Structure 1
């Protein structure tokens, strides 16, 4: 297929024609360990992150989990964890407690701590060409689809390619 044939194949299609309406979401308070298990269980590589009020607040991927699990927490990150456990008016954690936090970071750190807060989305009525442009220009793999601000689907670069062949 030539470039113009690709464009013709996509002409007139709306995102709704390609999107998957089943979107598995994760909550921002989930532990990294729970998040990793969720990805494995569902065979997915990423998911939108929602807050308690169902607001879309970020996106997290398997790569984020791997990067987190293969590095050492910084002192700043340990301080944030300490504040989380002790509260704003609590005291400092002892060396033993800090060692415990380091060893169990994947159980103590949350999706919110490792997610990308920038979320790319399009309205359900947007043309597929807008999705292609965003995916290419922003170097992303998935685009979330909304209807009146509510998450209703997801479309991936792979979904678009499948429509072309």
Structure 2
């Protein structure tokens, strides 16, 4: 994982003494709400990532999107009900296919006509940077989340995933 703030040789301390800021991944690539779904698929594939926060023209966070959202959209019958409101970005399986072959073929006409805003999850789960990792883990378990954003003064500055927490537990 890129840019996690904890070094492998950092002194060990109990998990309850870590904060979200200390274990978060700070490099976040954002998608834009106006991109087409095809542009989003290319962005995810070219960066080798499975999801991203979504921003508007003012760089304000408006949602999140994942490869699961793209795959669901690509395979969805056009007559199906809109499934917005789910939080798949946060609960995607940890067992994902990093080849993204299905995304590279995402060029059907409806993929060009629809935008990230059409398929993103508009709800955002975040914790303050000073939140203890123990509290973050409890929130993730209680809500069935695999990742949460980290904020400082209302601005998203990173993300904590279940794998980030497991890295601390296994040290």
Structure 2 match to 1:99: none
Whichever of the two has the greater Rg, that structure is: 1
Structure 2: runs of 5 or more not aligned: 1-12, 83-107
CA distance in structure 1 between the partners assigned to 2:50 and 2:131 by the alignment? 25
Q: Which of 37, 41, 49 is residue 36 of structure 1 equivalent to? A: 41
Aligned residues: 133
**TM-score, normalisation: structure 1:** 0.75
CA distance in 1, matches of 2:58, 2:15: 35
Partner of 2:66: 61
By how many angstroms is 1:76 displaced?
8.3
Looking at structure 1, the residues matched to 125 and 27 of structure 2 have their Cα atoms a distance apart, in angstroms, of 17
DSSP-derived class of the 1:21 partner: coil
CA RMSD of aligned residues (A): 1.7
- Change beyond 3 A, Cα 1:75–1:60: closer
Q: Give secondary structure in 2 for the equivalent of 1:38.
A: helix
TM-score norm. by structure 2 comes to 0.73
Higher helix residue share = 1
Unaligned runs of 5+ residues in structure 1 are 1-7, 78-102
Q: Distance in 2 between matches of 1:55 and 1:162?
A: 30
